């Protein structure tokens, strides 16, 4: 299928640029301001059933799995239900214990990824309730799940997922808010998160305006032999996704690690040819993260920080606007999409069709 490039040189750039509108679309018509609640019509899960959920397990592959990691954190934070994410491609092969009080959620842009679909089918065979967080309406995963949330990112053509990743994370924020308001999230906190969600499109647009600045950073780091992406808790899924994106589109080797794990081994890799990208939400872990930057610096590592203010321990900082801290993972991923894109451009890569990859992996 081909779509108009709308004046952009690549679909990746077009899709990154579309994010303010895409986020607006996933929010539209779903928020009830009177009660600070969320309406998710296709969810097919009433309030009594939602209260009975004891755990949430999110399954997806690649970027969808990473969006699920953000989703699991949001569900734990806002709804206080234990939640985790696992690659669907692992889950389906390990004869998982299927628990009747667990809500399973399959995440997929295409809705056709074979490993994710196979996980859904295995769960359904074992009597589990499975929801979908899916972009393509009427796709196989949308059809085979009991209900769910459409991500409304619009068609995503570039093999590398950008706008769908962001919209999926926003869809999870809505779901977490919905589950939270049915359980113990206060009206005041509900309103705070809703206001934060509404600020996202404008703030993403602000980040996109800084593309030339990010292009300069990309040129500086394009000679890297490998790159290390680190973050703690809220920052870690962002680091995972940014590392995948850089690998996919620029072919620079990258690793993502929890910042706290660096000292348990990967610090051995740090040297000037292996720069570190640190994702630094302004939460209670900021000081700990700064200490990690110090450790990297002491080993001669170059550091690029993504933060809400200039970081003196970093060589360079991409400053992103402040929002509610729970939503930082959504916002902080955006400049790193541009970093991957501009690095690939600087290296002359085939951006929309990276080697060896397909947009959706419909085979085993």
> Which residue numbers are catalytic?
359
With contacts defined by CB under 6 A, how many residues of the chain interact with ligand AGP?
16
Task: Check binding of 338 to ligand AGP (CB under 6 A).
Answer: no
Nearer to ligand AGP, 111 or 281 (CB): 111
Distance linking the first and last C-alpha atoms of the chain: 23
Task: Check binding of 361 to ligand AGP (CB under 6 A).
Answer: yes
Single residue of 37, 110, 203, 243 touching ligand AGP by CB under 6 A: 110
CB neighbourhood size of 242 (10 A): 26
Task: Check binding of 326 to ligand AGP (CB under 6 A).
Answer: no
Single residue of 45, 53, 56, 62 touching ligand AGP by CB under 6 A: 62
Q: Smallest Cα–Cα separation from 62: which of 245, 226, 259? A: 245
Q: Smallest Cα–Cα separation from 324: which of 229, 236, 237, 234? A: 234
* Closest separation in Å from C-beta 61 to ligand AGP: 4
* Closest separation in Å from C-beta 85 to ligand AGP: 13
* Closest separation in Å from C-beta 110 to ligand AGP: 3
Q: Three-state DSSP class for 210?
A: coil
Gap between the Cα atoms of 202 and 314, Å rounded: 27
Nearer to ligand AGP, 160 or 351 (CB): 160
Q: Smallest Cα–Cα separation from 18: which of 200, 199, 154? A: 154
Task: Check binding of 118 to ligand AGP (CB under 6 A).
Answer: no
Instruction: Please choose, out of 61-69, 92-100, 203-211, 227-235, the segment that lies near ligand AGP by the rule CB under 6 A.
Output: 61-69
Gap between the Cα atoms of 164 and 65, Å rounded: 12
Please report which residue ranges of the chain form alpha helices under DSSP H. 11-17, 19-27, 47-51, 62-79, 88-91, 114-125, 140-144, 163-182, 187-208, 211-221, 235-250, 286-298, 328-346
Gap between the Cα atoms of 28 and 23, Å rounded: 9
Q: Is residue 136 within 8 Å of residue 121, measured between CB atoms?
A: no
Single residue of 22, 64, 170, 238 touching ligand AGP by CB under 6 A: 64
Instruction: Please choose, out of 51-59, 60-68, 147-155, 304-312, the segment that lies near ligand AGP by the rule CB under 6 A.
Output: 60-68
Restricting to residues 220-259, name those near ligand AGP by CB under 6 A: 248
Restricting to residues 151-170, name those near ligand AGP by CB under 6 A: 159-161
Task: Check binding of 61 to ligand AGP (CB under 6 A).
Answer: yes
Instruction: Please choose, out of 95-103, 107-115, 146-154, 213-221, the segment that lies near ligand AGP by the rule CB under 6 A.
Output: 107-115
Nearer to ligand AGP, 61 or 193 (CB): 61
Q: In what order do the strands lie in the sheet with 55-60?
A: 83-87, 55-60, 102-108, 129-134, 147-150
Residues in touch with ligand AGP (CB under 6 A): 61-64, 108-110, 113, 116, 159-161, 248, 357, 360-361
């Amino acid at each position: 299928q081909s779509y108009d490039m709308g004046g952009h040189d690549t679909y990746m750039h077009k899709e990154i640029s579309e994010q303010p509108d895409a986020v607006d679309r996933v929010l539209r018509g779903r928020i009830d301001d009177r009660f600070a609640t969320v309406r998710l019509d296709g969810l097919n899960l009433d309030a009594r059933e939602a209260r009975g959920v004891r755990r949430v397990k999110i399954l997806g592959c690649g970027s969808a799995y990473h969006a699920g990691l953000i989703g699991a954190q949001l569900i734990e934070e806002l709804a206080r239900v234990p939640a985790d994410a696992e690659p669907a491609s692992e889950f389906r092969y390990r004869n998982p214990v299927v628990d009747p009080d667990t809500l399973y959620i399959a995440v997929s842009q295409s809705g056709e990824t074979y490993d994710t679909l196979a996980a859904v089918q295995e769960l359904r065979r074992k009597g589990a309730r499975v929801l979908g967080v899916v972009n393509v309406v009427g796709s196989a995963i949308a059809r085979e799940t009991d209900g769910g949330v459409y991500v409304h990112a619009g068609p995503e053509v570039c093999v590398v997922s950008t706008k769908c990743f962001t919209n999926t994370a926003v869809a999870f924020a809505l779901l977490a808010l919905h589950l939270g308001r049915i359980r113990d999230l206060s009206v005041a906190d509900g309103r705070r998160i809703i206001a934060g969600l509404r600020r996202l499109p404008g703030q993403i647009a602000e980040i996109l305006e800084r593309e030339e600045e990010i292009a300069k950073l990309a040129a500086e780091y394009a000679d890297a032999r490998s790159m290390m992406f680190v973050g703690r808790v809220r920052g870690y899924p962002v680091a995972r996704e940014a590392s995948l994106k850089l690998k996919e589109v620029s072919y620079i080797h990258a690793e993502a690690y929890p910042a706290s794990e660096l000292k348990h081994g990967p610090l051995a890799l740090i040297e000037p040819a292996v720069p570190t990208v640190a994702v630094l939400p302004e939460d209670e872990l900021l000081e700990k993260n700064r200490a990690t930057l110090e450790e990297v610096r002491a080993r001669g590592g170059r550091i690029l920080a993504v933060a809400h203010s200039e970081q003196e321990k970093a060589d360079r900082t991409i400053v992103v606007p402040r929002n509610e801290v729970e939503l930082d993972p959504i916002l902080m991923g955006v400049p790193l999409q541009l970093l991957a894109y501009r690095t690939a451009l600087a290296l002359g890569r085939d951006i929309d069709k990276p080697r060896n990859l397909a947009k959706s992996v419909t085979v085993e």
